[in-house]
Amino acid sequence: MPKERLHLDALDQSKSITQDEYKTKLRTLQLELLSMQLQLLEKKIPVIFLMEGPDAAGKGGTIKRVFERLDPRLLSVHSINKPTEEEFARHYMWRFWTKIPARGHIAVLDRSWYGRVLVERVEGFCSTDAWKRAYEEINQFEKMLIDDGTVLIKVWLHITKDEQLDRFKRREADPYKHWKIGDEDWRNRKSWDEHIAAAEDMFEKTSTDLAPWTVIPANYKWYARVKTLKTVCREVAKALGK
């Protein structure tokens, strides 16, 4: 039976928590994750956490809150930008191999190999045959990692188009956040519908039983951060047999 297609713009964006709830839950869950980090090392279990979502969805801020209390010696964070000339000359997966964590370590990817079926598809940075072929390539790659003992956690933070516009305007007006907004962000916004369609296709084809996607409504940042941290703690605990 085919999976029901997820419609991102139909997500319930009303979920929120108070500031007191946020602070309490964040502290509790951060401590829980920290207590499990050493167990991952002892059991030599590698973890890959990857996050995708529209521009201004709060990916960087969420990653910071989820992982800021962990031992940095066992953690690496990678912000994935456009490939270098050397990377572009090779298969698109090539540049991700060096980001696979050592056993017992955690690797965090702010954007990931899913760029092939998201921005590269929408912007025409690869051929249609290439991005259509990539779904199965990605599923095989992730299965290989999971079969080898890697815990793979995939999270999509989603905001509405109106919320994105509001965040863009606030970034432009804030001298401390002005660097976060540029011409590319505004250009991508013009292709909002195309980006959403690409994401929904991605969920349909790559949210597998082995490596499911967790989609989190993120108009309210406090809720999204706590929900993401809960997701990470749940998957790590499961890997540790808890």
List average pLDDT for each run of 10 residues in the chain, which is 242 residues long: 79 96 98 98 98 97 98 97 93 96 98 97 96 98 98 98 96 90 89 97 97 98 98 98 92
- The structure tokens listed for 131 are 């991005």
CA triplet 144, 150, 155: central angle to 5 degrees? 100
Inside any domain, residue 218: yes
User: In the prediction, which pLDDT does 151 show?
Assistant: 98
Q: What is the CATH number of the domain that holds 153?
A: 3.40.50.300
Inside any domain, residue 202: yes
Inside any domain, residue 183: yes
Per the listing, tokens 């994105």 go with 164
User: In the prediction, which pLDDT does 122 show?
Assistant: 97
CA 107 to chain centre: 12
User: In the prediction, which pLDDT does 226 show?
Assistant: 98
Domain total of the chain = 1
Q: Taking the complete model, does pTM exceed 0.85, yes or no?
A: yes
Report the candidate in 65, 78, 79, 70 with the shortest Cα–Cα distance to residue 40: 70
Which residues make beta-bridge pairs with 106?
47, 75
User: In the prediction, which pLDDT does 1 show?
Assistant: 42
Show the domain range for 24.
8-239
What is the rounded end-to-end Cα distance, in angstroms, of the chain?
Answer: 32
Inside any domain, residue 3: no
Inside any domain, residue 81: yes
H-helix or E-strand containing 77?
Answer: strand 75-79
Inside any domain, residue 98: yes
Inside any domain, residue 2: no
Inside any domain, residue 203: yes
- The structure tokens listed for 176 are 């401390």
